Amino acid sequence: MGPPGPGGLIAGVGSVSRFDDAYASCALPEFLREFGQSVTYHDPDLDPASITAVVGSEETEQLETNTGVELRHAMDVTVLTDTSSEFGGVSTPRRSSGDIPVTVTFEGQTWTVEAVAAAGPGWATLHCVRPVLARTKRPGET
């Protein structure tokens, strides 16, 4: 997945094909039954939604910051946009913006939604991040 563009959407994602339609109606529900995991989607404007989602693998990047070393964990979470489905869903998923955090909680850890890709009809992929300060710089250290 590429970097988020304006509005947090992923460039080049969102076109709908017959494959997308077939995947959303046939393959994705079976995939969720087999591999889906429970997550909670938190949007400050809505009640928290406990849903079944496909959670991707976690990637970690080490970043040098002004205050020290930060580990930036990232993962993609695929959710349905049909709230009436047996798996639950998020009708209009959105990313965090300024002081308004939109988060996903999975296995006790809270992840910030950095970008949303409208991946197909009836589903979207949330690009989630969780930065952790690994080491603080000492006074005088550059």
User: How many Cα atoms are found within 13 Å in the side-chain-facing hemisphere of 26?
Assistant: 6
Residue 75 located in a structural domain:
yes
Residue 142 located in a structural domain:
no
- Which pLDDT belongs to residue 75? 96
In the block, residue with structure tokens 């959303």: 24
Residue numbers of the domain that contains 100: 6-135
- Residues 87/37, Cβ–Cβ less than 8 Å: no
Sign of CA dihedral 91, 95, 98, 102: positive
The rounded mean pLDDT for the chain is 82
* Total domain count, the chain: 1
Q: Which amino acid is at 1?
A: M
Dihedral in degrees, nearest 10, Cα atoms 36, 95, 71, 73: 10
* Start-to-end CA span in the chain (Å): 33
Q: Tell me the pLDDT tens digit for each residue of 26-39.
A: 777 888 999 999 99
Average pLDDT score over residue span 11-26? 61
Q: Tell me the pLDDT tens digit for each residue of 33-65.
A: 999 999 999 999 999 999 999 999 999 998 888
Strand pairing report for 37-42 and 103-106? antiparallel
Q: Which of 2-6, 89-93, 115-119 has the highest mean pLDDT?
A: 89-93
Q: Which residue has the higher pLDDT, 121 or 101?
A: 101
- Does the structure show a pLDDT above 90 at 15? no
- Which pLDDT belongs to residue 120? 73
Residue 115 located in a structural domain:
yes
At residue 5 the predicted structure's pLDDT band, cuts being 50, 70 and 90, is very low
- Which pLDDT belongs to residue 37? 96
Residue 140 located in a structural domain:
no
- Which pLDDT belongs to residue 66? 80
